Chains A and B, each alone.
Chain A
Amino acid sequence: MIATNGLTKVFRAEGVETVALKEVSFRVEKGDFIAIMGPSGCGKTTLLNLLGLIDDATSGKYFFFGQDVYSLSEKQQTLLRKLNIGYVFQNFNLIDDLTVWENIELPLIYLGWKRKARSQRVAEVISSMELDYRKKLFPAQLSGGQQQRVAVARAVVAKPPLILADEPTGNLDSLHGEEVMNILGRLNNEGTTIVMVTHSQSDAAYSHKIVHLFDGQIINENITKGV
């Protein structure tokens, strides 16, 4: 599904160059659940941002379903992203001025779904995430766990084949963290590919494969059982 070849990312700030990723090559197959682990500043989030087309690589190649992503225009990249990728952030990144319902509905609006289809799908996802009683609330009125459930709901609403999760439980207590991980596990079981950055061994235990990063390079890949 995904293949990177020599992916490198260099940040330049005020004349200082920082190499965040150094020639990273790895593959993600359809249905995988991959955890990326490593110490702070090793390039985990940078890698996830490149995979999610949130940022551009300095060099290297990135193939999505065999398509050379960097040969696409900005418009085509946007299209590829909205059709294929759902994103879950550590700090949820919900839009404060929109209600739970509106936050979840947003990707469908950008995909150009008709109102009726949108309502049906949003209702379905809200129900599956057990958010029915909170759909009219604003993010600030929810607990952290509830906010992350909204974020997950928003990531899956358009049924993307790939979900990228950046420390999805990082801001949650263990109870709410487990809740979110269970949802991700369930989605993976239903066929969604998941790539997740995490610090937590217990979260990583949900994955099929752990990729260890250090100083911007992959140092090893372990196969795990998954839960």
Chain B
Amino acid sequence: MNIIGLSLGIAVFVFIYLYVQSEFRYDRHWKDYDKIYRITTEYNLNDQSEFVALTPFLLADRIEKNLAGVDNATKIFFSDPSDVNDMSTLIYNDEVFEVPDITLGDSNVFRIFDFDFVEGDYFSSLSKANSIVISTEVSKMIFGDEKALGKKLKTHIREYTITGVFEKKSRPSHLFFDAIVSINSLPEEDTKIIGSDWFWMSCYTYVKLKSGRQKKDFQFELNEYTNDQIRKYVEQEELSIKGYSNFSLEEIYDVHFNTSLLYDNPENIDKLYLFVFAIIAGFILLTASINYVNLATARSLKRAKEIGVFKVLGARKRQLSLQYISESLILTTLAFILALSLVELLMPQFNILVGKDLTLIGSLFSKDGIVFGLLLVIMILVLSVISGIFPAFVLSYLQPANVLKGNKLFISKEGKARFTTAGLRKLLVTIQYIVAIGMIISTIIMYEQMMFLKKQDLGFDSRNVMVINMPQDTSFSERAHEFIDKLADNDSIEMLSVAGNLPGYTSGRMMYYTSDSTNIQSLNFFIVGSNFFKLLGIPLLEGGSFSEDEGHAKERKYIVNRAAADTLGDDKIIGSILHSTTGSSGKIIGVVGNFRFSSLYKGVEPLVIMFSDKRARYVLLKIRENSRATVIAHITKVWNKYNSAQYLHYTFLDQKLESLYKGDYKMLSLFTYFSLFVIFISSLGLYGLSSFLIEQRTKELGIRKVLGGSANNILMLLARDYLKLVALAGIIASPIVYVLLGKWLDMFALSIKMRFWEFAAGILLVMLIAFITVFIRARKVMHEKPSKSLYFE
């Protein structure tokens, strides 16, 4: 049992180690990675700052041309990371292929990021318009073993020539794309507006500095330059903006740990989580080792007599020490072999849990595999020595006569020696329980918070709402009306609406101001079709809604949410004119309730909603209860009739909303598994400790029975001490959890208040488990006839 306990501990340690290590390997494999930075933006309007991962389109070009010490600068568009269902379509010889992530980038992308090119060359691949560079995976999918270079691929918009095939790095990066199109393929009229606007945050900018160029200096010069440019731009455009933009450089390898920016990769993870996991891993290893040593030394007491006999027969101290340490080395090595086999065996399940593709062999033979291997060897040696040293030195240094006399060797000489070892063991068990209780309480609170989010009134009804991705091809717009009419023609579909934006999907932002105000505000905007509010049950608070034939209206109209109405600050919001800095304007005709259009990490922000059935990206269907199968069959039929050249993608709004908290659910499940394991391993420790103490108290227990102690009296006597330890551990763990979890809960705009019962439940649960553990060990002693223990030697 001892070896199994240690093996499990090591196995879990290795799992967490590999996971944490893989997170820290993000973007460290690029050549000169320490010179590559991503530029992020703080833009402040009316004293309100927003931090975004996006930058103005023109930034990369301007940096390269106007600032010293820049090796290269590049801009990349990513497909909206939150729209997981947005698959892009590539057509080759009339055959349709789906590629998850197609992005746009300029010719410098591959000059900064050294992808390995299988075909074509990195230097010129994205220089010309209508070029596309694809990954080897995409190449294999479309062309099999044929060469891809020079072949033509079509999208629904235009035709591209393949100018390169790159190998996707097996190492993790926040940059993910399967194909990249040259940015100068965009029509000039599109890039003209976007390319001159300092306030339109549209793409990600990366910069590689020359050797010796300091980040701090560069950042200072960058802001000096951009402030000057922005001032000129504001004057030139006659904008009345009160605010500023501030650009920051962040190391490429830190991007993965930044969770504070808008429009950033949702896969990013806070380092805090990783530190917590690292601590848990270290703790699990420590606990498993303590338990192993505890049990090994407890067992070695039984060998005291054996040592005495060896000594009488003339064995030397050194011989005895060597014997016990080598025995321990063999056992420990065995535990490690078992642990690593277990890791290899359970790796697929673990990969599913953490959403990664880790391999044990891969880690051992990687660049930093040597560290990992060395760590394992050191662990084996340290554990062998510690667990072997007790019998080797302590016992073999005893006088043979003392040992042979009997089992009282620990109170015979020093009188208090037994107390100290027991005290130390108790301390170790208490530490284990502090962590175990802390984790259980944390899991309970995290679970409560996630359930709380799930039950939140979102301000709209997401039940039975199906979302279909609209085909983005230009020729489709002619068929769109007919397609939508046919879609609606089914008894199971209660209502239908198109929309350019949906709750849970990233919304855009634009600058707005009302006629009688000089304040420009950066507000979220949604594009919706008619029926949108009705379909989602969003209440209209003031004014009117978009009409059925809004598409034919001459004037643009806006509806705003309550928060926007408050921000714009007009007493008579209905009827006032709203202008955007892009030049369009319209009348505000209504105010709707504050529905939660983004994640619950944020409070409800001001939102401007405009009507457009032409810029629709989604079709929303409100379907009848329990009619999913019928509806899916119906829409598949309609889709295939109108869009046979594309795949149908649909999702359900409630599922989509839940996926916003995928990261949190992942953490919750990791926490649950780890806390269960910590409980298990602490129980093993307690089992070991109680074994040790029960063995030491065997005779006492016999005496107590003779004096009338019942089985229950004996159990309570044994359990009482441990329950006290667990309660003490609970008292220590609670305030720590309160502070740490308080910080976690602060990340949410809506969060629960930690309650007493969550702490009490965690402590009681662990107490119960501790009680059961002692019970299992004590059961035999409890029911034994006292003669067995009275004459126990």
Give A contacts to B, CB under 8 Å: 49, 52, 54-56, 74-75, 78, 81-82, 87, 89, 93-97, 106-107, 110-111, 154, 158
Does B299 count as interface, using CB distance less than 8 angstroms?
no
Does B790 count as interface, using CB distance less than 8 angstroms?
yes
- CB-CB under 8 A from B411, the residues of chain A are 96
Are A54 and B787 in touch, CB under 8 angstroms?
Answer: yes
Interchain CA distance A82-B786 in the complex, whole Å? 13
Flag B483-499 by CB within 8 Å of A: 1 or 0 each. Answer: 00000000000000000
User: A154 → chain B, closest Cβ, in Å?
Assistant: 7
Flag B703-716 by CB within 8 Å of A: 1 or 0 each. Answer: 11111111101000
Interchain CA distance A78-B711 in the complex, whole Å? 9
Are B787 and A95 in touch, CB under 8 angstroms?
Answer: no
Are A82 and B707 in touch, CB under 8 angstroms?
Answer: yes
| Cβ contacts A to B, 20 pairs, < 8 Å | A52-B706, A54-B706, A54-B786, A54-B787, A55-B785, A74-B783, A75-B711, A78-B711, A81-B708, A87-B706, A89-B790, A93-B699, A93-B703, A93-B790, A95-B700, A95-B704, A97-B700, A106-B707, A107-B708, A110-B713
User: B26 → chain A, closest Cβ, in Å?
Assistant: 57
- CB-CB under 8 A from B790, the residues of chain A are 54, 89, 93
- CB-CB under 8 A from A154, the residues of chain B are 707
Are A107 and B787 in touch, CB under 8 angstroms?
Answer: no
Are A111 and B708 in touch, CB under 8 angstroms?
Answer: yes
The listed residue (B699, B707, B785) touching A107 by CB distance below 8 A is B707
Instruction: Indicate whether A78 sits within 8 Å of B710 (C-beta atoms), given known contacts A95-B700, A95-B703, A95-B704.
Output: yes
Q: Given known contacts A52-B706, A93-B790, A154-B707, what 9 new A-B pairs fall within 8 Å (CB)?
A: A54-B790, A75-B711, A78-B710, A81-B708, A93-B702, A93-B703, A94-B703, A110-B709, A110-B713
Interchain CA distance A87-B708 in the complex, whole Å? 11
User: A139 → chain B, closest Cβ, in Å?
Assistant: 11
- CB-CB under 8 A from B705, the residues of chain A are 78
Interchain CA distance A110-B704 in the complex, whole Å? 9
Interchain CA distance A54-B702 in the complex, whole Å? 9
The 5 A-B pairs at the shortest CB distance, nearest first, are namely: A82-B708, A110-B708, A55-B787, A54-B787, A107-B707
Task: Tell me the residues in window 676-717 of chain B with beta carbons closer than 8 Å to chain A beta carbons.
Answer: 699-700, 702-711, 713
Interchain CA distance A139-B665 in the complex, whole Å? 59
Most buried by A among B704, B706, B710, B787: B706
- CB-CB under 8 A from B700, the residues of chain A are 95-97
Residue of chain B at shortest CB distance from A89? B790
- CB-CB under 8 A from B711, the residues of chain A are 74-75, 78
Residue of chain B at shortest CB distance from A110? B708
Are A81 and B706 in touch, CB under 8 angstroms?
Answer: yes
- CB-CB under 8 A from B783, the residues of chain A are 74
- CB-CB under 8 A from A49, the residues of chain B are 787
- CB-CB under 8 A from A74, the residues of chain B are 711, 783
Task: Tell me the residues in window 761-793 of chain B with beta carbons closer than 8 Å to chain A beta carbons.
Answer: 783, 785-787, 790
Are B704 and A78 in touch, CB under 8 angstroms?
Answer: no
- CB-CB under 8 A from A81, the residues of chain B are 706, 708
User: A51 → chain B, closest Cβ, in Å?
Assistant: 12
User: B787 → chain A, closest Cβ, in Å?
Assistant: 4
- CB-CB under 8 A from B704, the residues of chain A are 95, 106, 110
User: A191 → chain B, closest Cβ, in Å?
Assistant: 21
Residue of chain A at shortest CB distance from B708? A82
Considering only CB atoms and an 8 Å cut-off, how many residues of chain B contact the other chain?
19
- CB-CB under 8 A from A94, the residues of chain B are 703
Residue of chain A at shortest CB distance from B786? A54
User: B704 → chain A, closest Cβ, in Å?
Assistant: 7
The listed residue (B702, B703, B708, B785) touching A56 by CB distance below 8 A is B785
- CB-CB under 8 A from A55, the residues of chain B are 785-787
User: B777 → chain A, closest Cβ, in Å?
Assistant: 19
User: B693 → chain A, closest Cβ, in Å?
Assistant: 12
The listed residue (B699, B710, B787) touching A110 by CB distance below 8 A is B710
User: A113 → chain B, closest Cβ, in Å?
Assistant: 11
- CB-CB under 8 A from A54, the residues of chain B are 706, 785-787, 790
Task: Tell me the residues in window 404-419 of chain B with beta carbons closer than 8 Å to chain A beta carbons.
Answer: 411
Interchain CA distance A49-B783 in the complex, whole Å? 16
User: B127 → chain A, closest Cβ, in Å?
Assistant: 86
Interchain CA distance A94-B700 in the complex, whole Å? 8
Task: Tell me the residues in window 491-535 of chain B with beta carbons closer than 8 Å to chain A beta carbons.
Answer: none
User: A111 → chain B, closest Cβ, in Å?
Assistant: 6
Interchain CA distance A65-B774 in the complex, whole Å? 37
User: A91 → chain B, closest Cβ, in Å?
Assistant: 10
Interchain CA distance A121-B117 in the complex, whole Å? 95
Residue of chain A at shortest CB distance from B787? A55
Most buried by A among B411, B708, B710: B708
- CB-CB under 8 A from A110, the residues of chain B are 704, 707-710, 713
User: A156 → chain B, closest Cβ, in Å?
Assistant: 12
Are B708 and A78 in touch, CB under 8 angstroms?
Answer: yes
Are A75 and B787 in touch, CB under 8 angstroms?
Answer: no
User: B700 → chain A, closest Cβ, in Å?
Assistant: 5
Interchain CA distance A106-B709 in the complex, whole Å? 9
User: B779 → chain A, closest Cβ, in Å?
Assistant: 13
Interchain CA distance A74-B708 in the complex, whole Å? 12
Residue of chain B at shortest CB distance from A95? B700
Residue of chain A at shortest CB distance from B411? A96
User: A127 → chain B, closest Cβ, in Å?
Assistant: 21
Interchain CA distance A49-B785 in the complex, whole Å? 10
Interchain CA distance A95-B411 in the complex, whole Å? 13
User: A103 → chain B, closest Cβ, in Å?
Assistant: 9
Interchain CA distance A89-B411 in the complex, whole Å? 21
- CB-CB under 8 A from A97, the residues of chain B are 700
Interchain CA distance A151-B711 in the complex, whole Å? 22
Interchain CA distance A54-B699 in the complex, whole Å? 13
Residue of chain A at shortest CB distance from B785? A55
User: A162 → chain B, closest Cβ, in Å?
Assistant: 13
Interchain CA distance A128-B699 in the complex, whole Å? 28
- CB-CB under 8 A from B702, the residues of chain A are 93
User: B316 → chain A, closest Cβ, in Å?
Assistant: 32
Interchain CA distance A110-B706 in the complex, whole Å? 11
- CB-CB under 8 A from B709, the residues of chain A are 78, 106, 110
- CB-CB under 8 A from A107, the residues of chain B are 707-708
Interchain CA distance A93-B702 in the complex, whole Å? 9
Residue of chain A at shortest CB distance from B700? A95
User: A85 → chain B, closest Cβ, in Å?
Assistant: 8
Interchain CA distance A78-B790 in the complex, whole Å? 16
Interchain CA distance A82-B711 in the complex, whole Å? 13
Task: Tell me the residues in window 612-647 of chain B with beta carbons closer than 8 Å to chain A beta carbons.
Answer: none
Interchain CA distance A29-B706 in the complex, whole Å? 22
Interchain CA distance A81-B702 in the complex, whole Å? 13
Residue of chain A at shortest CB distance from B713? A110
Interchain CA distance A49-B789 in the complex, whole Å? 13
- CB-CB under 8 A from B707, the residues of chain A are 82, 87, 106-107, 110, 154
Residue of chain A at shortest CB distance from B703? A93
- CB-CB under 8 A from B699, the residues of chain A are 93
User: B504 → chain A, closest Cβ, in Å?
Assistant: 63
Residue of chain B at shortest CB distance from A98? B700
Interchain CA distance A87-B713 in the complex, whole Å? 19
- CB-CB under 8 A from B710, the residues of chain A are 75, 78, 110
Residue of chain A at shortest CB distance from B783? A74
Flag B166-198 by CB within 8 Å of A: 1 or 0 each. Answer: 000000000000000000000000000000000
Most buried by A among B411, B700, B703, B704: B703
Interchain CA distance A107-B703 in the complex, whole Å? 10
Residue of chain B at shortest CB distance from A164? B706
User: A168 → chain B, closest Cβ, in Å?
Assistant: 15
User: A62 → chain B, closest Cβ, in Å?
Assistant: 14
Interchain CA distance A45-B241 in the complex, whole Å? 102
- CB-CB under 8 A from A75, the residues of chain B are 710-711
Interchain CA distance A210-B703 in the complex, whole Å? 27
Residue of chain B at shortest CB distance from A83? B708
User: B783 → chain A, closest Cβ, in Å?
Assistant: 6
Residue of chain B at shortest CB distance from A151? B703
- CB-CB under 8 A from A106, the residues of chain B are 704, 707, 709
